[in-house]
Structure 1
């Protein structure tokens, strides 16, 4: 049994195709924006750490070895 592809089918197919393309585009743009923001935040955090003049290990008191 074959089915005929009516004009209504093609109209609905076109509408669904355009909607799926639009949704794909919007989701892709949103994910790209999220990734760029996360990368910028990470890059800022790394550069902020590097601008400190004192290394992180100097914040802790030094342990001295006691020889008995």
Structure 2
């Protein structure tokens, strides 16, 4: 026994489909705006103060003797 899809069903389906698509677009735009605002806020913050880098002393290279793998 099959059920037929009535015009009332298709009307409600179309309304819900359009409402869902509209809500998705609105939420996507809102989240994009929120992300852009957060990125702009981070870009305007001052970077944390780090101590100045001191150069490392020069170390002469050591020449290692090569030991044969097999005796």
What band does the TM-score fall into relative to the shorter chain? Answer: 0.5 to 0.7
Deviation at 1:40, TM superposition (A): 0.3
TM-score by length of 2: 0.63
The match for 2:16 is: 16
Larger Rg: 2
Counterpart Cα distance in 1 of 2:35 and 2:16: 28
The match for 1:44 is: 44
1:32 aligns with 2:32: yes
Secondary structure of the residue aligned to 1:17 is: helix
Deviation at 1:24, TM superposition (A): 0.3
RMSD: 2.0
More helix by share: 1
TM-score by length of 1: 0.66
User: Unaligned regions of 5+ residues in structure 2, if any?
Assistant: 53-71
